[in-house]
Amino acid sequence: MKPKHKKRPPYDKRKKAFDLVMEAYRSARDVKVGVSAVNIGSGGKGTANPVRPTLVDFRCDVERVFRKILKSESAWDAFRQAYLDFDSEDYIERGMHAQKIYGEAMQNLEEGMGAEFIKRGIYPMHGKDSYFRTIRRTA
């Protein structure tokens, strides 16, 4: 009998999920979202589907993943310094900065967080059956 081979985890998909979700999170972080009101009697057009996720929902869902993986205050501080506070548009510079802070653990962190983004349906974000096309359900 042949031994069964374990299926290798999709490391590249996890890394891509981490990179793209973090890029979108950094962009959405600076968007100011306020509360608005609509005069119902004015006959204005409503939203196409108000139960689909918004940028605020996206930020909250991503931050829930942060809280799940980054258990301690020191882990959160290191992550924030490595991925959120470093202000560079260059992908390579951001990676080098994170590497300085995390060392070899950087790859495990990124792939683990990417796996959680995939598991929770945050990635993929666009396209058929993606995050921004789904109807939100309470978890």
- Concatenated DSSP letters of the chain: -PPPPPPPP-HHHHHHHHHHHHHHHHHHHT---------GGGT----S-TTS--HHHHHHHHHHHHHHH--SHHHHHHHIIIIIS---S-HHHHHHHHHHHHTTHHHHHHHHHHHHHHHTT-SS-SSTT-GGGSPP---
pLDDT at residue 87, as a whole number: 76
pLDDT at residue 91, as a whole number: 84
Across 128-138, average pLDDT = 71
Residue 44 has pLDDT above 60, yes or no: no
pLDDT digits (tens, 9 = 90+) for 83-129: 988 877 888 898 899 999 999 999 999 999 999 999 999 998 888 77
Where residue 71 falls among pLDDT bands split at 50, 70, 90? very high
